[in-house]
Amino acid sequence: MTPAQQDLRERAGKLVAHVRDSVEHRPGERSALRRALGRHPDDTEIRPAARRVISPHLHDLHGPQREAVERAFYAVAALIAAQPRRARDEDIEPTPPGDDDHPPQPEAPATADDSGEADHAPGPQPSTGAVALDLGSALGNSSVEAAKARSPQSSGDRDEQQEAPQEKRLHLLCRQDLDGLHRHLPRIVRFLRSERVAVDWTRLACDLATWREGGTNGRNRVAKQWLDGYYRVLSIEETRKRRTKQADDTPTGDDA
């Protein structure tokens, strides 16, 4: 990780912590951040309370770098604030700086209702110790859980000729320019959080901030990480299934 990447990661981590605190303890700031969803930082409709949260994390940034980081930070702050209450309560801490280069093995979280209104309603609990990874891994976790819900006997199976909805969403995102990415992202993140799939907000902020870096180089690099993450999750699940089946098919002493 370069010094510039480390600085961005630390800056984004502090922003996420600040936004979480605002969302939990200051309703006015939470409302202002939520209303900023889908808006460009230059939009005059963004309330001063939202700017009060985000501006301190942009100090000493200038020119194109500031523009890229500012837009990413506003987007992620608004996405955090716009989560249903239950999803906000279950939000997990971001991965430590530097973990992007050696991501841990994904753990698929449980799914549940996203209404956020009937918090007393029973439902599956999120996986203990679930690790938030890149956006592609999050979509992969969602795809695996959806397959399990459809058919316990064939959980994790994929029709190689037919993309899962999560895969289609990911491919759509990876083709977008920056404006298109910001346009499609809220719907996809809302879908993930409604499924109680963890999102690493710090990493997402960094990915958004570098999407236009070096022309299309930034997009290509981030898109590759997302695609690799998605297919890695599916591969891990298929390996788990295969080993489980082999164990079930192995004769025991009683069968011999």
Residue type, 146: A
Say what the pLDDT of residue 243 is.
Answer: 86
Q: Domain count of the chain? A: 1
Asked whether the predicted pLDDT for residue 206 surpasses 70, the reply is yes
Q: Is residue 43 part of a domain?
A: yes
Asked whether the predicted pLDDT for residue 108 surpasses 50, the reply is no
Q: Which single residue is written with the structure tokens 């299309």?
A: 216
Say what the pLDDT of residue 85 is.
Answer: 84
What percent of the chain shows pLDDT beyond 70?
Answer: 77
Residue type, 52: R
Q: Regarding predicted confidence, which is higher, 249 or 14?
A: 14
Q: Is residue 111 part of a domain?
A: no
Q: Is residue 215 part of a domain?
A: yes
d(CA 78, CA 47): 12
Q: Is residue 105 part of a domain?
A: no
Say what the pLDDT of residue 219 is.
Answer: 97
**pLDDT averaged over every residue in the chain:** 83
Say what the pLDDT of residue 62 is.
Answer: 95
Say what the pLDDT of residue 118 is.
Answer: 35
Q: Regarding predicted confidence, which is higher, 90 or 199?
A: 199
CA nearest neighbour of 165 among 185, 142, 183: 142
Q: What is the mean pLDDT of residues 59-80?
A: 97
* Confidence grade of residue 159 (pLDDT, cut at 50, 70, 90): low
Say what the pLDDT of residue 74 is.
Answer: 99
Question: What's the CATH number where 81 sits?
Answer: 1.10.520.40
Say what the pLDDT of residue 32 is.
Answer: 98
CA nearest neighbour of 41 among 70, 19, 76, 68: 70
Max avg pLDDT among 59-73, 91-105, 118-132: 59-73
Q: What is the mean pLDDT of residues 55-74?
A: 96
pLDDT digit string (tens) for 120-143? 333 333 333 344 579 999 999 999
Q: Regarding predicted confidence, which is higher, 74 or 146?
A: 74
Which residues form the domain of 217? 3-95+128-248
Cβ burial of 193 (10 Å; 0-12, 13-18, 19+) is: buried
Q: Is residue 162 part of a domain?
A: yes
Say what the pLDDT of residue 116 is.
Answer: 37
Asked whether the predicted pLDDT for residue 111 surpasses 70, the reply is no
Q: Is residue 116 part of a domain?
A: no
Say what the pLDDT of residue 122 is.
Answer: 34
Say what the pLDDT of residue 115 is.
Answer: 37
Q: Is residue 19 part of a domain?
A: yes
d(CA 80, CA 21): 11
pTM for the model stands at 0.79
